Amino acid sequence: MTQATSTATAGSPTRDRLLDAAAELFYREGVGVGVEALCRVAGVSKRSMYQLFDSKDSVLAASLERSAPAYLAFLLPPDDDRAPRDRILHVFERLEETAARPDYRGCPFVAVTAELKAPDHPASLVARRCKDQLTAFFRQEAERGGAGDPELLARQLTVTFDGSGVRAVMQGQGLDGLALATATALLTGAGMNDTAPRTPETSG
C-alpha cells in the first residue's frame, strides 16, 4: 500500500513533512533509514506516522510517487517546436547538469530499486512507472523523428540514462559529456539526424 490510511489526511501538513523528510533521507542515506530517524527529521511522532501509513515501506513508496511528477518535469523539455532529436538530448543535458553536483546520488528511482532488490515492492512498482514514463517520452520522440525502431531506441536511451547515473555515482564525479555523447551516437545510428519532426510530406 502506498496511500494514507485515511483520505481525509492525504494532504495534511504531517503527511507532507513525513514525505519531504523521507525523500531527503532515503535519497541521501538509503532505504535503511529507520522509522525513528525519519520521524525525528520530519518532526512527527511514530504514532502519527502509523496513523497515516501502515509501514515504512508505504512511506517510501508514497515519497517516490509524490516526487515523480517534479522529477519528470525537470528532466523533460516543455512543449516546443524543437526537433525530436534535440528534445531527447535535452534530457541528457539535464542529466549531465545534475550528475556534476556534489550531492548527486544517482537517479532516486534506480537507487531505491537497486537497494530493495525486490521488483514487486511497492516502491519498486512506483519507480518502474516513473521509468516507463521516461521511456514512453523517448519512444514518442523517436517515432516523430523517424527512427527505424522507436521501441528499441527508447529502451537503449533509458539504459544509457540509468547507466550513466550509476557511473557518476561509482566514479564520484560528473559525466563530462559522456551521457550526452552516447545518446547522440544512438540517435545518429537510428537515423535521427533531422532538424525537424518528420511528417508524411517530409519523410517521403
The predicted model gives 161-185 an average pLDDT of 97
What pLDDT shows up at residue 166?
A: 97
Task: Answer yes or no: are the C-beta atoms of 120 and 96 closer than 8 Å.
Answer: no
Confidence of residue 194 (pLDDT cuts 50, 70, 90): low
Over the stretch 28-71, which tens digit does the pLDDT of each residue have?
Answer: 999 999 999 999 999 999 999 999 999 999 999 999 999 999 99
The topology under which CATH files domain 76-193 is: Tetracycline Repressor; domain 2 (1.10.357)
Sign for the CA dihedral angle at 152, 157, 158, 162 comes to: positive
Banded pLDDT at 195 (limits 50, 70, 90): low
Distance (Å, rounded) from C-alpha 86 to C-alpha 82? 6
Residue-wise pLDDT for 109-162, tens only, equals 999 999 999 999 999 999 999 999 999 999 999 999 999 999 999 999 999 999
The CATH superfamily holding the domain 7-56 is Homeodomain-like (1.10.10.60)
Q: Give the tens place of pLDDT for each residue, 167-176.
A: 999 999 999 9
Tell me what pLDDT residue 203 has: 43
pTM of the model: 0.87
| Dihedral over Cα of 23, 24, 29, 32: its sign | negative
Each domain of the chain, given as residue ranges in start order, spans 7-56, 76-193
